[in-house]
Structure 1
Amino acid sequence: MDTGTHIVMGVALGGLATLDPVVANDNELFQAILIGTVVGSHAPDFDTVLKLKNNAVYLRHHRGITHSMPAVVLWGIAIPSLIHAFMPEVSFFHLWLWSFIAVILHVFVDVFNAYGTQAYRPFTRRWVAYGFINTFDPYIFGLHVIGILAWMFGANPGYTWIIIYMILALYYVKRYLDKRSIVKKIHQKYPDVVEIATSPTLKQNYWRLAITTDTHLFAGRAVDGQIEIVDEFERVPLPQNKVMEIAQQDKNVSAFLSFSPVYNWEINMYDDFTEVRFIDLRYRSRDYYPFVAVVQVDDNDRIMNSYTGWIFSEKKLQSKLLVDDPSLL
């Protein structure tokens, strides 16, 4: 989820903690827990700082090891321990419990996005992306804002958040059923489907789709439950040649390939270099695929430039590739 949603979820957990009589009767403990739940609900995303290094490092590691099972345990210990060092008189057990729940909730809600996480590490490095909740869902965020406002105006926080989270549980079920209906229709249309990537949008009735069959790749959308295919590509294995071998060794391309489950590729030859482009098909927007990896290899088999990330125009992409040192991207 987005940063704002994670933070309001931390506030909500702080309110839920007041259902515990020990917390409700100890204002200092409540304050410590509220700090722990807000920090814990955002902590796994501290890896966003990796973007300061370059996109390749960020793409390979964001929502990776920081969202893994060992990391969840470490976050769950480190956060309350740090808070307890400044507030040693409060109950460490209660502080640890709610801070740990906040970290778990962060990783839990992230697996329902199209981006996903490596939540099952160290057992597998597979990206878990169930793809039926948008990274920013206005209904989820809006209900949290309503809950916070109700709390501010005197509503009982514990019962307020129980009601809201019961509504959200039903909402998650509803979105899951929406996705299942779409997937069923795709299987009816394409019996040889290998994989389906769904990306919900801000609109409840609009989903982006990337479909892999035995022979083709399809980019499409589901609007009001109707499947529309907007692009079709023949599914061709990566060629076994020198340029492609060099391209796959590039850090930007390697990071992209480690993350993207469904992509098309193309090779374009120019006077002085050959360009290899990888295009993620999950995020088509306004006739453009914004998530790409591009590498340019000169005639001496040396990488000239490369880039991976989100780009919303060809002009902007070319400006990125003109940077002399790709590590600065």
Structure 2
Amino acid sequence: MDTGTHVVMGIALGGLATLDPVVATNHAVASSVLIGTIAGSQIPDIDTLLKLRNNAIYIRNHRGITHSIPAVILWPLVLSAIIFPFFPGANLFHLWAWTFLAVFIHVFVDIFNAYGTQALRPFSNKWVALGVINTFDPFIFGIHILGIFIWMAGANPGYTFLVMYAIIIAYYFKRFSLKRSVHLKVKAMIPDATEIIIAPTMRFHQWRIAAMNEKQFFVGKAVKNQVEILDRFNRVPVPSTPVIEAAKTDKNLSAFLSFSPVYRWELDEYDDFYEVRFIDLRYRSNGHYPFVAVVQLDCDLKRISSYTGWVFSEQKLRKKLSIIPS
């Protein structure tokens, strides 16, 4: 989920914690737990700082080790050790328990996004992505804000957020049902599909679709259970040519390939350099595919420049690469 949603989730868990008698009857415990749940709801995303280095490192590592099983165990211990000394009258076990729940829920809800997490590390490096909830879901964010306002108005926070979470659980089941319906429609349209990826959007009834069979890629959308195929591309295997192999050694392209499950490729040859481009097919927006990896090589196959990330126009991509071919 996005940072804002994780913040309001942390506040909501702090309110829910008042159902714990130890928290409800001790101001120091309640204050420390609220800080712990807010911090615990944020700490796994500390790897966002990797963006300050470059996109390749960020793409390879975001929601990786910081969302792993050891991290879920470690983060609450670290946070509790930091917070507890400021609240001498607090109960360390209850502070740890609620902070642990906040960290766990952060990682758990991220599994439901299309991006996913490596939550099974160190047992598996596989990305777990159920793709039923958008990174920012207006309903989930909105109902948390509503719950916080109801709490501020004087309602019991424990019962307020207990009801809220019951509604959210029902909402998740509904999202699974909607996705399954879209999947069945796509399968009916492409019966020989070998893979179907359905990703949520911020709109409740709208989904992105990327599918493939042995010969083609299909990109489409579903709106109110009506599926439309927007683009088709022939599947052309990536060749093992010297240019492609040289491009694959670039860190940006390597990061892209470690993350993207469905893509097409292009190779352009100019007077004095080659340009290799890989295009993720999952994120079509207004006829454009914004998530790409591009590598430019000179005639000796040495890297000139490269980029991976989100770009929404060719002009901006050229600016990122700092080269405009004639």
- Matched residue, 1:326: none
> Which residue pairs with 1:217 in the alignment?
217
1:262 and 2:262 correspond: yes
**Structure 2, unpaired ranges of 5+:** none
SS of equivalent to 1:312: coil
Shift in Å at residue 86 of structure 1?
2.4
Question: Residue 100 of structure 1 aligns with which residue?
Answer: 100
Aligned length: 323
User: 1:228 is aligned with what amino acid?
Assistant: E
Deviation at 1:127, TM superposition (A): 1.2
Partner of 2:236: 236
User: In 2, are the aligned partners of 1:65 and 1:71 still within 8 Å (CA)?
Assistant: yes
Counterpart of 2:201 in structure 1 is 201
- TM-score calculated relative to the size of structure 2: 0.97
Alignment-mate amino acid for residue 157 of structure 2: P
**Aligned-residue RMSD, C-alpha:** 1.0
After TM superposition, which residue ranges in structure 1, 4 or more long, deviate above 2 angstroms? 85-89
Residue 195 (structure 1) shift: 1.7
Paired residues of 1:208 and 1:283 also in contact (CA < 8 A): yes
Counterpart Cα distance in 2 of 1:142 and 1:246: 48
Gaps of 5+ in 1: 324-329
Quote the Cα distance in structure 1 between the aligned partners of 2:188 and 2:140: 32
In the other structure, the counterpart of 2:294 is 294
Separation in structure 2 between the aligned mates of residue 100 and residue 41 of structure 1, nearest angstrom: 9
In the alignment, is residue 5 of structure 1 matched against residue 5 of structure 2? Answer: yes
Amino acid at match of 1:307: Y
Q: How far is the alpha carbon of 1:237 from its aligned partner? A: 1.7
1:249 correspondence with 2:270:
no
Q: Residue 319 of structure 1: CA displacement? A: 0.4
1:150 to partner: Cα distance? 0.3
Query: Contact (CA 8 Å) 1:114, 1:197: kept in 2 or not?
Result: no
Q: More deviation in 85-94 or 140-149? A: 85-94
Distance 1:291 1:232 in 2: 18
Q: Secondary structure at the match of 1:33?
A: helix
Give the equivalent residue in structure 1 for 2:144.
144
Write the distance in 2 (CA, Å) between the matches of 1:87 and 1:22. 14
Note the C-alpha offset of 1:89: 2.9
Matches within 5 A, 1:1-329: 1-322=1-322
AA aligned to 2:43 is: A
Paired residue secondary structure (1:279): strand
Identity %: 59
Shift of 1:308: 0.3
Q: Deviations over 1:253-278 (max 9, x none)?
A: 00010011111111111111111101
Residue 191 of structure 1 aligns with an amino acid whose one-letter code is P
Q: Deviations over 1:108-154 (max 9, x none)?
A: 11111111111111111111111110110100000000000000000
1:79 corresponds to which letter in structure 2? Answer: L
Partner SS for 2:78 = helix
Q: Distance in 2 between matches of 1:68 and 1:87?
A: 29
**Structure 2 CA distance, aligned partners of 1:71 and 1:216?**
40
1:141-188 CA distance string (max 9 Å, x none): 000000000000000000000100000000000011000001111111
Query: What is the CA-CA distance between 1:101 and the residue it aligns to?
Result: 0.4
C-alpha displacement of 1:102: 0.2
The offset of 1:88, in angstroms, is: 3.4
TM-score when normalising by structure 1: 0.96
1:292, 1:176 → 2: CA distance?
29
CA distance in 2, matches of 1:134, 1:71: 24
